[in-house]
Amino acid sequence: LEYGYLQLGRVSDARRVLEGCRQQAQREAADLAAKGKTPGDPDTRSIDSYAQMRAHFLINSELWQDEIVHWTLPAGEFPSARLTFDYTDALAAYKTSQSSRAREALSRMEADAKVAIARLDQRKVDQPSERGDIALLVDQLRALLSSPKPDAPQTISALQSVAAREHALPLEFGPPSIYKPTEELLGELYLQMGRPAEARKAFETDLARAPGRRLGVRGLTHGEQ
């Protein structure tokens, strides 16, 4: 519902839904702590949803300096949610030209990813797509921060490599599992570089996987002007 509101530009409604999930996540974390459950317990759905919804809100609204940027996770070890939080923080810092903060968040992501993979191993979860998503999130930010200049050839090349791996993911129902699709990111960089033909191609590929996505449609429109 939150993602649908964001695609319609109904930011206030999306914010309201996100706030409700945040409150539910806080209650869930308190309940887990009260019951003495270990961090490995899989019943943390609201906490993961909160992290994912925060990512979608900030990425799709592009309110990079909104108070939601400063929201935190409830106390506890939730590696998947922590990875999503740090991914979003890294992207927000990048978008607001805070390179040192972006790199700090990337370092946390790399540590988060190791813990998240170890937790999957511990629970004997054999889901290649989940492991693949973790690697792609980390590698996308590594690529984006590979050079101080966003239009550097190595940055574009690295993002293209990540995008190719993303294309191999199975199509899923619902919001993109890679919160900021790499082709969309590439399309925006191409527009900044004055390369509209490449931008159009990137946005068309983005929209083939996420039909009607607002940022993809906007980018394609700009690329055609």
- 72-119 residue pLDDT tens: 998 888 999 999 999 999 999 999 999 999 999 999 999 999 999 988
Residue 14: which pLDDT band, with cuts at 50, 70 and 90? very high
DSSP string of 156-177, one letter each residue:
HHHHHHHHHHHHTSPP-SSS-S
Residue 143: which pLDDT band, with cuts at 50, 70 and 90? very high
How open is the CA angle 51-57-59, to the nearest 5 degrees? 100
User: In this structure, are residues 81 and 111 in contact, taking their beta carbons and an 8 Å threshold?
Assistant: no
Q: Where are the alpha helices (DSSP H) in the chain?
A: 2-7, 11-35, 45-61, 79-95, 99-122, 128-144, 153-167, 182-192, 196-209, 214-224
Burial class (CB in 10 A: 0-12, 13-18, 19+), 101: middle
Does residue 124 have a pLDDT over 80? no
Give the three-state DSSP class for 86.
Answer: helix
Q: How many CB atoms lie within 10 A of CB 186?
A: 25
Tell which residue, 90, 191, 194, 199, has the closest CA to residue 140. Answer: 90
Q: How far apart are CA 147 and CA 190, in angstroms?
A: 16
Percentage of residues in the chain with pLDDT exceeding 90?
74
Average pLDDT over residues 195-201: 96
Please indicate, yes or no, whether the overall pTM of this predicted structure exceeds 0.85.
yes
